[in-house]
Amino acid sequence: MLEIKNLHASVDGKEILRGINLTVNAGEVHAIMGPNGAGKSTLSNVLAGRDGYEITQGEVIYKGENLLDLEAEERAQRGVFLAFQYPVEIPGVSNIYLLKAALNAVRQYQGLDDLDAIDFLTLVRSKMELVKMDESFLHRSVNEGFSGGEKKRNEILQMALLEPSLAILDETDSGLDIDALKIVSDGVNSLRSKDRSVVMITHYQRLLDYIVPDFVHVLSAGRIVKSGDKELAKELEKTGYSWVNETAEGQPA
Amino acid sequence: MKQLTELATPFASVADSTPLIGQQLPWLQSLREQATEQFKHNGLPAKKQEDWKYTSLWGLSQQAFTHTANQATVTTKQSDQLALLQDAYRVVIVDGVFSEELSTLADLPQGLTIDPLSTSIDSVEQLLGQQVDIAKPGLTALNTMLMNEGAVVSIASGVKLDKPVELLVINSGSTDNLAIHLRNIVSLAENSQATVIEHYVSMGDAGSFTNVVTEVVLAEHAELDHYKLQQESANAFHIATLAATQAESSQWRTNNISLGAKFARNDIQSRLMGEQAHTVMDGLYLVNGEQHIDNHTRIDHLVPNTTSEEVYKGVLDDNSHAVFNGKVIVHKDAQKTDANQSNRNLLLSRGCEIDTKPEMEIYADDVKCGHGSTVGQLDEEQLFFLRTRGLDAVSARSLLTYAFAVEVLERIPSEIIRQAFSVVIEQRLPRPSVAA
């Protein structure tokens, strides 16, 4: 599904990612953990295609294509989805309009016709149940006046509707109380399948109690310094990230 | 270079050659004489006058206009297509002349009267000229000299209109560079409620000059939703003055949507004269090409406990130029005034220019007032978000531009009118279509 090879990326001449190697197979859930400033958000932004990052070395192969050659929207149309750490408010654009426009864009790429109004609404309603959102959210402006939890649920709703092959969840647990965390996690878990891969980026282990990963990687100073299974996350919870920083600094640049 | 007073003379001589309404009325004759004196004295406003600093009437003064319209044929079908609303009491003026045939005034409900100014001029002495000052720099004096048509709308005490009144002013394009001078009067008696739309449109792209003054009077507890939609041709000059007086507990919501014309200027004023009176003064301007739009607004809080809200937004593209000057004046006795004003601008090109100046003059000490203006470009984060959802960059930009503009409609209470305006805005700023 996704193969990241020796990925180096800089912002304003400062190298943030310093040789990432990661393979994610179909159906796998990978958690990427690490201290602040390790490059976690940079990695998710580079994968989703945000401007402002210079790729200095390496490549990212997604379903056989070089992902880094594609525009953000081309990646989305091919099934890459980024759930934002800070979901964006868009006054004047209703949620239902956004959902239709997004679904149409993906379906058009797939050579499918737009859904008619009834099929679309039926589909959206079924997805809204997953994240326990009521229909009033459809007619409100995207994320405007939403609580932190509602914004994150809205991200998962978009993901559920678009059915991506690769979902990148950037700090999806941040700012969530325990009830909202559970709803969001249930939503993500219900979307797990053998054809869909998930890359979860998180600072805290807490999320991994709810969305149990197949693999856990520790990112530090722009590199993956340790990989393991879910037990690694528990170890991190106990020991913190201080040992990680030492390890990273001990390595030759 | 010629003096501006001299440039005004072509207009000044029109009065001698054009048959004007109400010539038999001594009060009107005297008003027109005063206006003529003023106009000859002041001439066209010049850039050295603060209110005209960013807007020059040089272009207008260089254009020869005619005040005599050729025969025009506008069909009912065309008029229906041009109108904003199908279900409204419609008054239609074509090339400066009231059209009885296109107007739908046959079955007005009790308590609503709508008359063309040309036939009701002898009954408006108490109202005409009360809201505007012919001595001020601007074209009100010229309008007073030459006004020849308009709509006079009155709502009787306690009457609540079941549907809006749409004043549809059509320039048929049959006469090149036709100038029209309209005077509208809208008066609402106590406890009455109405929606009035002023709608200015052109057929074709002929040059034209519309000079309109609208005077509004709201008695106690009256409520008026007022809209002005300007969609004149790319060769049109449009100059409009709109002024209202509000008595106690009255509410005036006005929304000024300016899309057309090569050159447009609006002067809008509200005077809050009774406690608990409330003004909402919103506006939207969408300009591109070489368009110039200038909105000058003024809200006077004259007594205690009055409130006002004002949101103006603009979208500028190409080499267009917009001016916003919003003045809120809280007079000495107007304690407990609550006033808020904002002007937000979206610039889509390097060549466009905005001069924005929100102003508050506060002479009372116990008030709540805020104002601000912003000038910016599309939000990069919103653009990136939409692209991660599969929208291409062009679609994402047009969607965000549309969304920025359409937000001005949020405060419109009527769903039907909000919908009608969003369709009009979408024609100008198309957003990506989605399946129904």
B342 CB neighbours in chain A (<8 A) are none
B141 touches B58 (CB < 8 A): no
**In this structure, what are the phi and psi dihedrals at residue A113, rounded to the nearest 5 degrees?**
-75, 160
* Cβ-Cβ contacts under 8 Å, B390 against chain A: 73, 76-77, 101-102, 105-106, 109, 162
Cα distance from B415 to chain A (closest Cα, Å)? 14
Those residues of chain A whose CB sits closer than 8 Å to some CB in chain B are 48-51, 71-73, 75-77, 81-82, 84, 87-88, 90-93, 97-98, 100-102, 104-106, 109, 114-117, 120, 141, 158, 162
Instruction: Classify each residue of B146-172 as buried b or exposed e, where b means 16 or more C-beta atoms within 10 Å of its C-beta.
Output: bbbbbbbbbbbeebebeebbbbbbbbb
Tens-level pLDDT at each residue, chain B (436 residues) = 345 555 566 676 776 677 899 999 999 999 999 999 999 888 888 888 889 999 999 889 888 899 989 988 999 999 999 999 999 999 999 999 999 999 999 889 999 999 999 999 999 999 999 999 999 988 999 999 999 999 999 999 999 999 999 999 999 999 999 999 999 999 999 999 999 999 999 999 999 999 999 999 999 999 999 999 999 999 999 999 999 999 999 999 999 999 999 999 999 999 999 999 999 999 999 999 999 999 999 999 999 999 999 999 999 999 999 999 999 999 999 999 999 999 999 999 999 999 999 999 999 999 999 999 999 999 999 999 999 999 999 999 999 999 999 989 989 999 999 999 999 999 998 888 775 4
What is the pLDDT, as a whole number, of residue A252?
A: 44
Nearest to B237 by CA among B212, B213, B219: B212
Question: CB of B242 within 8 A of CB of B214?
Answer: yes
Q: Helix or strand or coil: residue B393? A: helix
Looking at residue B436, its pLDDT comes to 46
Closest A-chain CA to B394: A73
Distance CA A132, CA B294 (A): 48
- B389–A102: do the CB atoms touch at under 8 Å? yes
Is B381 close to A88, i.e. CB distance below 8 A? yes
| A227 and A215 Cβ atoms separated by less than 8 Å | yes
Would you place residue A175 in the very low, low, confident or very high pLDDT band (cuts 50, 70, 90)? confident
Q: In this complex, which of B381, B391, B404 lies closest to A92 when CB atoms are compared?
A: B404
| Minimum-distance CB partner of B391 among A73, A87, A141 | A73
Looking at the complex, report in whole angstroms how far the Cα of residue A168 sits from the nearest Cα belonging to chain B: 11
pLDDT at A102: 96
Report the number of distinct structural domains present in chain A.
1
Domain span at A172: 2-250
Q: Which two tokens stand for residue B339?
A: 């006033």
Q: What is the pLDDT of residues A34-87, one digit of tens each?
A: 988 899 999 999 999 999 999 999 999 999 999 999 999 999 999 999 999 999
Break chain B into its structural domains and give their ranges. Answer: 4-274, 379-436
> Beta-strand (E) ranges in B56-177?
89-94, 97-99, 112-116, 151-155, 165-171
The whole-angstrom separation of Cα B328 and Cα B63 is: 35
Band (A240; pLDDT cuts 50, 70, 90): confident
Give the phi and the psi of residue A19 in degrees, each rounded to 5: 105, 65
Using a CB-CB distance cutoff of 8 angstroms, which residues of chain A are in contact with residue B380? Answer: 51
**Among candidates A72, A81, A115 on the partner chain, residue whose Cβ is nearest the Cβ of B435:** A115
The DSSP letter of residue B289 is T
The pLDDT of residue A245 is 61
| Most B-contacting residue of A46, A47, A88, A110 (CB-CB within 10 A), to test interface | A88
Pick left, alpha or beta for residue B95 (phi over 0 → left; psi -120 to 50 → alpha; otherwise beta).
left
Q: Token digits for B78?
A: 């065309």
State whether ipTM is beyond 0.85.
yes
Q: With beta carbons under 8 A apart, name residues in chain A contacting B387.
A: 49, 71-73, 76
Q: Which of residues 415-434 of B touch A (CB under 8 A)?
A: 432, 434
The residue that leads in pLDDT, A216 or A242, is A216
Which residue from A minimizes the CA distance to B380?
A: A51
Tell me the shortest Cα–Cα distance from B350 to chain A, in angstroms. Answer: 21
Q: Which of 345-404 (B) contact A at CB < 8 A?
A: 379-382, 384-393, 395-396, 399-400, 402-404
* Residue B377 contacts residue B349 (beta carbons within 8 Å): no
Chain B positions in Cβ-Cβ contact with residue A160 (cut-off 8 Å): none
- Looking at residue B43, its pLDDT comes to 86
Spatial neighbors of B11 by CB under 8 A, at least 6 apart, are: B39, B142, B145, B146, B179
CATH code at position A61: 3.40.50.300
Q: From CA B112, how far away is CA B154, in angstroms rounded? A: 6
Query: What is the per-residue pLDDT for A253?
Result: 39
